Chains A and B, each alone.
Chain A
Amino acid sequence: MSGTLLLPPLLTGAQVTVELTLTSTVLGAMLAFSAGMARGAGPWPLRLFAATYIEIFRGTSLLVQLFWLYYALPLIGPRIDPFVTGIIALSLNIGAYGAEVVRGALLAVPRAQHEAAVALNFTARQTLWRIILPQALPEMMPPLGNLAVQNLKDTSLVSMITIADLTFRAQTLRNLTLNSIPVYSLTLLLYFAMALVLMAGMRGLERWVRIKGQGDMARA
């Protein structure tokens, strides 16, 4: 069986993978910033809440989280659509890992910068938004880019809860054709191609953050 026949169903799956990746990366980034800033610079109740969230999701398996949401949750609560389940689990996961990146970058801004902010009488909130975050943002971009690529690859786990993503399609095709080598080779190539595009996108975003920072400076 030739690649041209395998490609259309795989591309259909790849489209689902792209949708999952983009949605959960964007949602995850929002979670990462909220939880990271809460844990790194928030009042203690928020800090505790953020820490609990981060440690639970960093400390448990994504696959088991998916199974729990898909198979266990409906027994005690609502049944959620598998695609939405996948988005929720992936977002919460990348959010937890990303939060640690955000927190680490905030903490890496030298103490002297905080002291200068105190000496100029900035409030804690002004210090965070005007002094600390703009310096931390460029530092967190490369590790966040890595997480986005990690997230793309993690989406393959959602095939286990019946979402017809790229991995799901590949398994179906293999069962149908018993032709493992072309099916999985093509699948790997497709993941690699998507990762390349994503990495290029993240590098662009990284550059934009730096240039944006300098634009702020120039506007003063």
Chain B
Amino acid sequence: MTDTPIIRFQNVSKRYGDLTVLDHFDFEVMSGEKVTLIGPSGSGKSTVLRILMTLEPVQEGVVELDGLSYRQPGRHGPFHASARHLHQIRSRVGMVFQNFNLFPHMSVLRNITEAPVAVLGLSKADARARAHELLEMVGLADKAQAFPAQLSGGQKQRVAIARALAMRPRVLLFDEPTSALDPELVGEVQEVIRRLAHEHDLTMLLVTHEMRFAREISDRVCFFDQGRIVEQGPPGEIMINPAQPRTRAFLGAYLPETSTG
């Protein structure tokens, strides 16, 4: 971890009609930091990831990644970034979705090699070699020729992680990566993410409801409520001794050992 922020939100507000999802939101993430976003549904955690992945536009405020602004100045004020600029931003970010979003018409191997070949310009041989390494890493070396429909949820999510890593992102976003999984498959996906967190200098943002897991892998935990970060700090502090009553109430529902009083 270094002291340079790679991600910066400054005074960002995001609304869907009357609903305010992010409310004058400030947030910074250091390069290499592993940050977990927790909080009730609809508190804006996933929106932060979706904005960073350029899946949602920002209406107000500043969002920057690696010094690149998500909006570019135009004649009449800040505009949405051009396709070319978005392409630069996206080359630095990857995302793992709750529902995997693998391409069903491609084999596991092709799911992982398609973008490196088409977007990064890697040779097919290089892309395949790298895909096999990544499959080895996520424990699916024998599934290269399988199709997504033939895999379990846990296997699909591990392929999705390998697919995201194949693009060599600097920031990897995990949007509730284990929420769609049967309970007995959660562990295998968490194990892969845990290893990534401990062994790589990748910047990781994770939205999750698995509190124990969040505690294990994070440098910092941020508790969201109503579009703002109510409380944040090292997992030991936030999860054992939360200062805010709202954080305590929320964690009480998840962690029996946290006092709710």
Contacts and interface: CB of A to CB of B under 8 A. Distances in A.
Contacts, number: 73
Given A112-B97, A218-B107, A126 B118 contact: yes
Interface string B141-183: 0000101000000000000000110010000000000000000
Interface in A112-138: 112-113, 115-116, 118-124, 126, 130-131, 134-135
A216 interface: yes
Contact of B105 (A119, A120, A213): A213
Contact of B55 (A118, A134, A216, A218): A118
A16 B243 CA distance: 85
A61 to B, nearest CB: 39
Contacts of B106: 216-217, 220
B114 interface: yes
A120 B115 contact: yes
A134 B105 contact: yes
A216 B113 CA distance: 13
A103 to B, nearest CB: 19
B105 A217 contact: yes
B107 A118 contact: no
A14 to B, nearest CB: 39
Interface string B91-115: 1011101010111111101100111
Given A120-B119, A121-B87, A217 B147 contact: yes
Contact of A220 (B53, B83, B90, B113): B113
Interface residues of A, number: 21
Interface string A87-131: 000000000000000000000000011011011111110100011
A213 B105 CA distance: 7
Given A130-B114, A218-B145, A118 B90 contact: yes
**Which label, helix, strand, loop or mixed, suits the secondary structure of the B interface?**
loop
A77 B115 CA distance: 51
B115 A112 contact: no
Nearest to B166: A120
Given A112-B99, A112-B101, A118-B55, A220 B163 contact: no
Given A118-B54, A119-B94, A217 B101 contact: no
A130 B118 CA distance: 9
Contacts of B163: 120
A113 B99 CA distance: 10
A220 B115 contact: no
A116 to B, nearest CB: 4
A120 B101 CA distance: 11
Contacts of A112: 97, 99, 101
B37 to A, nearest CB: 18
A119 B164 contact: yes
B53 A118 contact: yes
Interface in A131-153: 131, 134-135
Contacts of A134: 105
B107 A220 contact: yes
A116 B111 CA distance: 11
A121 B119 CA distance: 7
A124 B90 CA distance: 13
B53 A119 contact: yes
Given A119-B53, A121-B119, A123-B87, 20 more contacts: A112-B101, A113-B101, A116-B101, A119-B90, A119-B95, A119-B164, A120-B94, A121-B87, A121-B90, A121-B167, A122-B118, A123-B119, A126-B118, A130-B118, A135-B103, A135-B105, A216-B105, A217-B106, A217-B107, A220-B109
Interface of B: 53-55, 83, 87, 90-91, 93-95, 97, 99, 101-107, 109-110, 113-115, 118-119, 145, 147, 163-164, 167
Interface of A: 112-113, 115-116, 118-124, 126, 130-131, 134-135, 213, 216-218, 220
25 contacts: A112-B97, A113-B103, A115-B55, A115-B97, A118-B54, A118-B55, A119-B55, A119-B90, A119-B95, A119-B164, A120-B164, A121-B91, A122-B118, A123-B83, A123-B119, A124-B83, A126-B118, A126-B119, A130-B118, A131-B103, A135-B103, A217-B107, A217-B110, A218-B107, A220-B114
